[in-house]
Amino acid sequence: MPAVIVDCAIYRGGRRTDGPADFSDALAAARAEGDAFLWLGLHEATEHEFALVSSEFGLHPLAVEDALHAHQRPKLEVYDDSLFVVLKPVTYEPRGDTVSTGELMVFIGDSFVVTVRHGEGAPLSAVRRRLEAEPEVLAHGPTSVLYAVSDAIVDHYVEVADELQLDLEELEEEVFSPDAGSSTPTAARIYDFKRQVLEFRRATGPLAAPMARLAGAGVPFVHEHAQPFFRDVNDHLLHVNEQVEGLDRLLTDILSAHLAQMGVRQNDDMRKISAWAAMAAVPTMVAGIYGMNFRHMPELTYVWAYPAVIALMAVTVFGLHRQFKRRGWL
């Protein structure tokens, strides 16, 4: 069990204090004091390991099932003895333009907070240190932990959205540059970038409803004075969602414009091919007529017939070339 426990601490009056090493004894000690709470952090606990925690903290079986099996949507569930929140931290790798998501479950109940993390993203050590440096915030109890975790994740959403915006601007310049080719890899890159934005959207979009509920009144186990803090988080999240929607629409427009450019370039190529084929058809036709080897052909008896035919072909081809040039086909 200690392998999956990242940290276990009792907080009294907003400050971390020493307590029993066993989380069961620590929870009993926190509840005995009234103004204290236990924060237990877990990382990828197995079903057997988490069963010890759920039985001790009285967690709902449905919430436990969601916490054990990842791939949940961001949501907020209210049970009789606890509040269950699912968050999806996001990491972005600029070199590969790759968005990856983890999962973070938060249980809040009577004098306790249990955080369950899946994946390597969003370690909570920095959030814990920041909270411990602000005892006036931590003094609000388990609600302060939920706020700090949500705020950290949404703030990172803002950073990822800004990075995606910069990369999209670079992609846009590449697509619309005069030297941009009509190759398939460009369209594939746009489509892959759109998939990454969609992955990001799956993390940010569903979180809007839970944040709106936390920003309102009447949510159990949430401190009544925490509403302005959650409203601030919700405002940042709405800004991110608007930015993500804009990125998705712009990517669709860029992909459509790129495909239109490819069509225009192909039409230009077809016009050029048609123009050269038309100019080549004239001498081919004349040569075909004289290649029939008929005995009675009027031009065969004329001395200037051969030069005249060659001149006729040259003048005709030159005239076609000027005509196609004037129309922009060549």
pLDDT tens per residue across all 330 residues of the chain: 556 778 888 998 888 887 777 888 888 888 888 789 999 988 888 888 888 888 888 899 999 998 888 788 999 999 988 999 999 999 888 777 788 888 999 999 989 999 998 876 556 888 888 988 988 888 888 999 999 999 999 999 999 999 998 888 888 887 777 665 555 577 778 888 888 899 999 999 999 999 999 998 888 888 888 889 999 999 999 999 999 999 988 888 888 777 777 776 767 667 777 777 777 877 777 777 666 666 656 666 666 777 777 787 788 877 777 777 777 766
Helix (H, G, I), strand (E, B) or coil at 99: strand
> Residue 329: what pLDDT?
66
Asked: is 267-326 a CATH 1.10.3430 domain? The reply is: no
Top-level CATH class of 5-261? alpha beta
Query: In the prediction, which pLDDT does 292 show?
Result: 65
pLDDT of residue 208: 94
Task: Give start-end residues of each CATH 1.20.58 domain in the chain.
Answer: 267-326
**Which residue in the block uniquely carries the two structure tokens 């995606």?**
164
Residue 90: CB partners within 8 Å, gap ≥ 6? 99, 100, 101, 102, 121, 153, 156, 157, 160, 200, 203, 204
The pTM of this model reads 0.76
How many separate helices (H) and strands (E) can be counted in the chain? Answer: 10, 9
How big is the chain, counted in residues?
Answer: 330
Q: What tokens appear for 66 in the block?
A: 């969601």
Cα–Cα distance between 68 and 120 in angstroms, integer?
16
Question: How many C-alpha atoms does 16 have within 13 Å on its Cβ side?
Answer: 12
Rounded CA gap, 22 and 176, in Å?
62
With a CB cutoff of 8 Å and minimum separation 6, the contacts of 5 are 23, 40, 41, 42
pLDDT for res 154: 95
Residues of the chain with CATH 3.30.460.20: 5-261
Angstrom distance (rounded) from CA 77 to CA 86: 9
